[in-house]
Amino acid sequence: MQFGCCISGHAQAKSQDEALSSLIGQLKALQESGYDFAELSVSGLMNFTDDTFDRLVTYLADASFPTRAANNFIPGSIRLTGEHIDSKKAYDYVDAAMARLKRLGVGTIVFGSSGARNIPEGFSRDTALRQLDDFLLICNTLATQHDVIVAVEPLNRRESNVFQMVGEVFDHVSSLHLDHARV
- Tell me the pLDDT tens digit for each residue of 74-93: 999 999 999 999 999 999 99
Farthest-apart Cα atoms in the chain, separation: 51
**Global confidence as pTM:** 0.93
Backbone φ and ψ of 96, nearest 5°: -65, -40
Yes or no: say if 33 and 3 are a contact pair by the CB < 8 Å rule.
no
- Locate all alpha helices (DSSP H) within the chain, ordered by sequence: 16-32, 42-46, 50-63, 87-103, 114-117, 125-146, 166-176
The yes-or-no verdict on residue 146 having pLDDT over 60 is yes
